[in-house]
Amino acid sequence: MQQIEFLLHARPRGFHLITHEILQHLPELPECGILHLFIQHTSAALSLNENADPDVQTDLAASFDHLIRENEHFYTHTCEGADDMPAHIKSTMVGASVTIPITNHRLNLGTWQGIYLCEFRNKASCRHIIATIL
């Protein structure tokens, strides 16, 4: 087992394909195994989704913003800005981790799958990732 901690550079709010950036931080992958990625934040998430058409990223962002709106009158956690509570809700919906099989020293993603950073804050900082290779 190996565990690596690293930072993803800050990105604007949205859904960002980060597969190549993740791979740059990892050592050579084993013949067979599992990669578990965990984001140490409550206002961002990790997901697997479409890696070919950038319209998917735009549509995901628009859909999440439509479903979970800022400045709702029932929010009580408002001290960190209008985007903060919606970011926590969105993060809970998507999740803080993904697990990907490793086959023949490569991530065994589907043809159209990529790893996404789902950034839900308007002005986010770098994001901490823990990668565990089993």
Would you state the structure tokens that stand for residue 65, as one six-digit string?
């913003």
| φ, ψ for residue 122, nearest 5 deg | -70, -40
Rg of the Cα trace of the chain?
16
- Whether 34 is in a domain gets the answer yes
Would you state the structure tokens that stand for residue 116, as one six-digit string?
């996404």
- Whether 82 is in a domain gets the answer no
Q: What percent of the chain has pLDDT over 70?
A: 100
- Whether 104 is in a domain gets the answer yes
- Whether 18 is in a domain gets the answer yes
- Whether 118 is in a domain gets the answer yes
- Whether 75 is in a domain gets the answer no
- Whether 81 is in a domain gets the answer no
- At 67-108, the pLDDT tens digits run 999 999 999 999 999 999 999 999 999 999 999 999 999 999
pLDDT for 71 = 96
- At 4-50, the pLDDT tens digits run 999 999 999 999 999 999 999 999 999 999 999 999 999 999 999 99
Residues in Cβ contact with 63 at an 8 Å cutoff, skipping those fewer than 6 apart: none
- Whether 79 is in a domain gets the answer no
CATH value at residue 55: 2.60.120.460
Which ranges constitute the DSSP H helices of 1-134?
19-25, 55-67, 84-94
Domain holding 98, by residue range, is 2-70+88-133
pLDDT for 24 = 98
Q: Considering its fold, how many domains does the chain have in total?
A: 1
Distance CA 105, CA 48 (A): 19
Q: Are 39 and 125 in contact (CB under 8 A)?
A: no
Q: What percent of the chain has pLDDT over 90?
A: 99
pLDDT for 63 = 98
Would you state the structure tokens that stand for residue 52, as one six-digit string?
């070919």
